[in-house]
Structure 1
Amino acid sequence: MKSKNLVSLSVAAVFFVLAITGLLIYFGQGSHVVEHTHAWFGVLFVAAAIFHIMNNWASIVGYSKNRRTGGIQKELVVPVVIVAIFALGIGFDLPVFGKLANFGKGLFKGERPRGGPMEQTKVDSIANAVETAYATAYTKGDTGALAKLLPIKTSLLTEAGTILSGSDIQKNILKRTAPEVVKTKVDRAESLDERTILVYGTSTNSTTTSPTVFSHLLKEQDKKWTIIAAQRAFPAVQ
């Protein structure tokens, strides 16, 4: 087995996958799986490219330098200049490069409404669905359903100023001796981006007499919305 053949074919195979995932991300079709695949194959591509350069170092030097004069070949200057232009343009977020970066997504998603990344009706629908599911799971003591909505790493700032995690809330449900009926009402929801929604609302608990106001930060991943951060407080006395 020839090492040069193996490395060259490996570079080609990895590049093929990398190109597909890169185009999917560029055109706004990149899911969590696509992004992870792109990242890992990027690492593989770097490794394969290093071996490719090592195996072809003499040829690369020959392409870069004029053997007679020892000067730099034009064939080296052109790609270096192109890479430098794109690196600086992207790094400094120049308008042309910003438009180019979003052009692919615009082809499939079209122009977004000026009111925000998502239509308000969709934002309200998602917020109400998540909050209703949360209240139902909490009331029933369904820790399995609650874990899907409130991951163990979710941080919750309580009315008392203490910070709980999603895991703490699940443990508290298992420890409770009396039933709790929780009801939530979404007062306002706004989209921060296409995968993040901030929800403001009011909740009541059968074990307390005073309602509380809350804010939940919702995040979409793999087409599932979860609460990644939460805060509760007693409403201000008018």
Structure 2
Amino acid sequence: MKSKNLVSLSVAAVFFVLSITGLLIYFGQGSHLVDHTHAWFGILFVAASIFHIVNNWSSITGYTKNRRTGAIQKEFVIPVVIVAIFALGIGFDLPVFKKLANAGKDLVRGERPRGGPMAQPKVDSIASAVETAYATAYTKGDTGALAAIMPVKTALLTEAGTILSGSDMQKNILKRTAPEVLKTKVDHAEALDDHMILVYGTATNSTATSPSVYTHLLKEQDKKWQIIAAQRAFPAVQ
């Protein structure tokens, strides 16, 4: 087995996957799976490239300098200049590079309304669906459905100032001795970006004497919206 052939083919294979995931991210079609694949194959590409450079070091040095005169070849200067231009342009966030970076997403998604990254009706619809699913799962005591909406690592700051996790919420449901009916009402929802929504609402619980206000941070991951952080408080008495 020839090491040069193995390394060259490895670089080509890894680059092929990187190209696909890179284009998906560029055109705004990324996801948790795509991002992780791109990151890991990026590491593999760096490793394979190092072996490729080591195996072809004599050829690479031959490309950079004229063996007769020792002068630097223009074939080496041009790539260096191009890389420097892009590195500086991206580093200083020059308008043309900023526009180019978002061109793929703009092409696929089109123009966004000025009010935010997502149209407000869509934001309201997502917030309402998540809050309804959360209240339904909580009321029914369905820990599986609750875990799908509020993962075990979700942080919840309660009215009493204690911090619970999504896992604690599930355990509390299993310890119930009497049924609870939770109702939520979304008062306002706003998109922070294409994958994050902040929800302000009012909740009533059949076991509580007064309603509470809450804030939920929703995040889309793998095309599913979940509550990743929450805070509850009693409204101030006027």
* 1:142 Cα deviation from its structure 2 partner: 0.6
Residue aligning to 1:37: 37
Deviations 1:16-64 (A, max 9, x none): 1111111111111222222222111111111111111010000111111
RMSD of the alignment, in Å? 1.0
Compute the TM-score of the two structures, normalised by the length of structure 2.
0.97
In structure 2, list runs of 5 or more residues that go unmatched: none
Amino acid at match of 1:159: E
> For the residues of structure 1 that align with 2:156 and 2:93, how far apart are their CA atoms?
35
Residue aligning to 2:14: 14
Residue aligning to 2:92: 92
Residue aligning to 2:110: 110
Residue aligning to 1:195: 195
Residue aligning to 1:186: 186
> For the residues of structure 1 that align with 2:64 and 2:131, how far apart are their CA atoms?
62
> For the residues of structure 2 that align with 1:31 and 1:161, how far apart are their CA atoms?
34
Compute the TM-score of the two structures, normalised by the length of structure 1.
0.97
Residue aligning to 1:77: 77
1:64 aligns with 2:26: no
Residue aligning to 1:229: 229
Please state whether the residue corresponding to 1:214 is helix, strand or coil.
strand
Amino acid at match of 2:114: R
* 1:175 Cα deviation from its structure 2 partner: 1.1
Deviations 1:59-112 (A, max 9, x none): 111111222332322222211121121112112211111100000111111111
Residue aligning to 1:2: 2
Residue aligning to 2:170: 170
> For the residues of structure 1 that align with 2:148 and 2:94, how far apart are their CA atoms?
40
Amino acid at match of 1:90: I
> For the residues of structure 1 that align with 2:187 and 2:77, how far apart are their CA atoms?
59
Amino acid at match of 1:175: K
* 1:147 Cα deviation from its structure 2 partner: 0.4
Give percent identity, aligned residues only: 84
Runs of 4 or more off by more than 4 Å in structure 1? none
Deviations 1:184-223 (A, max 9, x none): 0000000111110000000001111110000000000111
Residue aligning to 2:137: 137
> For the residues of structure 2 that align with 1:228 and 1:15, how far apart are their CA atoms?
34
Amino acid at match of 1:221: Q
State the aligned residue count: 238
1:49 aligns with 2:31: no
